[in-house]
Amino acid sequence: MSVFARVLDNIYWRYYPYRFMYGKSGSITHLDVDGWEKLRFFSEPDELKEISRNADKVFLGGAGNEFLQSLFGPESVFLLDGEKHLQARKIISSELTNTAVSDIQPFIDTVIQSELCRVSDCGRTDLCSLARFIALRIMCKLLLNRQDRAVAKSLFKQLEQLTGFMANIVSFNKRYWRARQRISVGSFVERQTNKLRTTLNTLILESDHSSQFIKKLNSVCDHPGFGPSFLIDNLISCMTAGYDTTGSALAWSLFWFGREAGEAQYLRTAVAAGDMKAIKYFRQEVLRYCPPIDVLPRKLRSGCEHSSDVLSQLEEGAVACPYIHRAHHRAQTYQNPERFSPQRFARKEGYSNNEFCPFGAGNRLCLGMNVGRVIMDRLLTILCTDDWNVCLSNHRFRLVRRNVSIWPGYPLKGKLIRGKISGL
């Protein structure tokens, strides 16, 4: 591979993920970033199947985990491994069930309605910040049992500073992330995380009524195998993972609802007729077209048999990266993949996990999947029932990797207007 091609691929990966995803027909299959493992990208269903069969159980798997350690803490479910990881998943998932989410559904509705009304009074607004803030307010209720706007606002400020540094963690030489160096991205992130931990600890202590999430995680802090930081590490992990990914999913929902007037009208009519499946198909199409997490790096088990031609070419120590975005835009799986068409999910129920996997797969499957789905469904339902129009300033489809997720590649501005608008 020529030096020129290598430099170009790195530039695409860091600054133009849009080109990296689609590239010359999405053809970039490997990437070498100094200081990290070699990354190899896969998007064919049989390749993804083989990777999930042979994947080691660690998250990200390589140098990425060193950085995440200073952000999430050593007891984060993201960083635990083996039996301990399974136990932690069981504990956390018991508090993020469908029942837990439906208990707070009235609050979810109130937050969405009030935040939409608030920005509609202000004219043109940044829809991405709106989406992240809605997601964070809901996380505050679910994880901390705090529903005051002021608390969410102060946490939002801290999280926005922190997660901005998570963009492209695998893109820059890892020495920039070292926390021990006094002036490095890593040391800045560590200082910010410490401030966030202090804020969260204060919120936990001053709350009269802890959330079920806090009670449950607190009760296992002194179990054998788990340490005192289990609660706070996983609170930070779920809050960071939850608000940014769900925020991205909500921003893309607003984008498509505003851009595809015909699909939005179809959805309104279906909802008015009580057909709630239409909401599910719209949500699935948003997550197919723009999965908030575009890539799932996996380290393969050492000594595993690589039966497919492609995996057998994987060099020692390389990280296999199922590329969700490309898998979701594969023409053999999705007819006319660049068209936004929720009806494709009505025509074919049940794409396999290797074809449609916005929440990942296997034993690292997203723990907040129910939460994310419900929040998206409520936003879409309220847009329809309360007769909202999303008038975008820019209809272009461009994306960037920002925070932990994939976001519109420019400030997504728009107006939220209620009721019939002439010309729409």
For residue 258, give the 3-state DSSP assignment: helix
* Residues from 228 through 257 that contact ligand HEM (CB under 6 A): 237-238, 241-242, 245-246, 249
169: contact with ligand HEM by CB under 6 A: no
Phi, psi of 108 (to 5 degrees): -55, -45
Write down the number of H helices and E strands in the chain: 18, 9
Closest to ligand HEM by CB, 84 vs 124, is 84
Closest contact distance (angstroms) between CB of 39 and ligand HEM is 15
The reply on whether position 293 binds ligand HEM by CB under 6 A is yes
Cα dihedral 211→214→219→223 (10° resolution): 160
- Of 293 and 319, the one with the shorter C-beta distance to ligand HEM is 293
Task: Give the contact letters, 78-97, x = binds to ligand HEM (CB under 6 A), - = no.
Answer: x----------x------x-
- Considering only residues 170, 319, 371, 392, which one is a binding residue for ligand HEM as defined by CB under 6 A? 371
Q: Quote the DSSP letter at residue 208.
A: S
Q: Does 424 sit near ligand HEM (CB under 6 A)?
A: no
Q: Tell me which stretch binds ligand HEM (CB under 6 A): 103-111, 152-160, 184-192, 289-297.
A: 289-297
Closest distance to ligand HEM from the beta carbon of 85 (Å): 6
Q: Which amino acid is at 274?
A: G
Which lies closer to ligand HEM via its Cβ, residue 134 or residue 415?
134
State the binding string over 307-346 for ligand HEM (x if CB under 6 A, else -). ----------------------------------------
State which residue, 6 or 89, has the beta carbon closest to ligand HEM: 89
- Residue 9 or 230: the one with the smaller Cβ distance to ligand HEM is 230
Contacts for 410 with CB less than 8 Å, ≥ 6 apart:
394, 396, 398
Q: Are 164 and 24 in contact (CB under 8 A)?
A: no
**Shortest Cβ 276–ligand HEM spacing (Å):** 18
Size, binding site for ligand HEM by CB under 6 A: 27
Give the whole-angstrom CA distance, residue 297 versus residue 62.
9
Q: Report in angstroms how near the CB of residue 330 gets to ligand HEM at its nearest.
A: 18
| Member of 230, 255, 256, 359 binding ligand HEM (CB under 6 A) | 359
Q: Which of 91, 101, 231, 296 binds ligand HEM (CB under 6 A)?
A: 296
Sort strands 38-42 and 319-322 into parallel, antiparallel or unpaired. parallel
What is the closest distance, in whole angstroms, from the C-beta atom of residue 78 to ligand HEM in the complex?
A: 5
Query: Minimum Å distance from CB 79 to ligand HEM?
Result: 8
**Which residue, 62 or 372, is less far from ligand HEM as judged by CB?**
372
- Residues in 9-38 that interact with ligand HEM by CB under 6 A: none
Query: Which residues, 210 to 229, sit near ligand HEM by CB under 6 A?
Result: none
The angle that helices 63-72 and 230-259 make with each other, rounded to 10 degrees, is 100
Distance CA(45)–CA(330), nearest Å, equals 10
Q: At how many degrees (to 10) do helices 230-259 and 212-219 cross?
A: 150
Contact with ligand HEM (CB under 6 A) among 61, 62, 73, 372: 372
Q: Return the ∠ at Cα 303 (arms to 298 and 307), rounded to 5°.
A: 75
Residue 340 CA to residue 411 CA, distance in Å, equals: 21
* Token pair of 249 as six digits: 């999913």
- Site residues for ligand HEM, 62-81, by CB under 6 A, read 77-78
The span from the CA of 244 to the CA of 160, in Å, is 9
DSSP E strand stretches across 36-126: 38-42, 125-126
Instruction: Compute the Cα dihedral for 84, 90, 91, 93 and give only its sign.
Output: positive
Task: Indicate the helix (H) or strand (E) that contains 387.
Answer: none
Stretch that binds ligand HEM, among 14-22, 169-177, 292-300, 330-338 (CB under 6 A): 292-300
Among the listed ranges 34-42, 123-131, 256-264, 359-367, the one in contact with ligand HEM (CB under 6 A) is: 359-367
Nearer to ligand HEM, 64 or 358 (CB): 358
CB 315 within 8 A of CB 71: no
User: How far is the CA of 399 from the CAs of 96, 162, 408, in angstroms?
Assistant: 30, 21, 4
Tell me how far, at minimum, the Cβ of 242 lies from ligand HEM, in Å: 3
Handedness of CA 137, 141, 145, 148 (dihedral sign): positive
Q: Directed axis angle between helix 369-385 and helix 127-139, to 10°?
A: 120
User: What is the rounded CA–CA span in Å between residue 392 and residue 254?
Assistant: 9
Flag whether 304 is marked binding.
no
Q: Which residues bind ligand HEM (CB under 6 A)?
A: 59, 77-78, 89, 96, 237-238, 241-242, 245-246, 249, 292-293, 296, 358-362, 364-368, 371-372
Binding-site residue ranges for heme = 366
